[in-house]
């Protein structure tokens, strides 16, 4: 085989193996409901060692959702914060296995917050 063909084959193999090792992507979502009616919600893609921020606004002001997905020895930890205007609604941290999913629910019947993460693929 000619040297240039060997080099191209090596580049293709390295490229394919790098693609196979790409970090898994997850969908992280949040929702806030008031008396059972959704007031705000959103979702975004995130991967290990990544972070996302989702912001929205309405007639009552804005909201912001921030999340960071950190690897640990035992799996992954999703660190979040959810704001409505200047009021922090919560900062839940969710632990999970790689490739797994997690969910946090808190609040009351009047105001319920749900944050979830699940594999995207």
Sequence spans of domains, the chain: 24-119
- The overall pTM is greater than 0.75: yes
Would you say 32 and 39 are in contact if contact means Cβ atoms under 8 Å apart?
A: yes
> CA neighbours within 13 Å on the CB side: how many for 107?
20
d(Cα 107, Cα 73) in Å, to the nearest integer? 31
For domain 24-119, which CATH number applies: 2.40.128, 2.20.28, 2.60.40, 1.25.40? 2.40.128
d(Cα 28, Cα 121) in Å, to the nearest integer? 13
> CA neighbours within 13 Å on the CB side: how many for 1?
8
User: Residue 38 — φ and ψ, nearest 5°?
Assistant: -65, 125
Model confidence pLDDT, tens digit, residues 52-108: 999 988 776 789 999 999 999 999 999 999 998 888 989 999 999 999 999 999 988
């Amino acid at each position: 085989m000619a040297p240039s063909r060997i080099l191209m084959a090596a580049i293709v193999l390295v490229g394919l193996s790098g693609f196979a090792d790409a970090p898994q992507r997850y969908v992280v979502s949040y929702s806030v409901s008031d008396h059972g009616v959704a007031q705000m919600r959103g979702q975004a893609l995130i991967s290990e060692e990544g972070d996302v921020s989702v912001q929205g606004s309405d007639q009552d002001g804005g909201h912001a959702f921030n999340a960071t997905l950190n690897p640990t020895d035992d799996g992954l930890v999703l660190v979040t914060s959810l704001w409505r205007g200047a009021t922090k609604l919560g900062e839940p941290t969710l632990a999970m296995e790689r490739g797994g999913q997690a969910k946090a629910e808190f609040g009351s019947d009047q105001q319920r917050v749900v944050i979830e993460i699940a594999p995207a693929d």
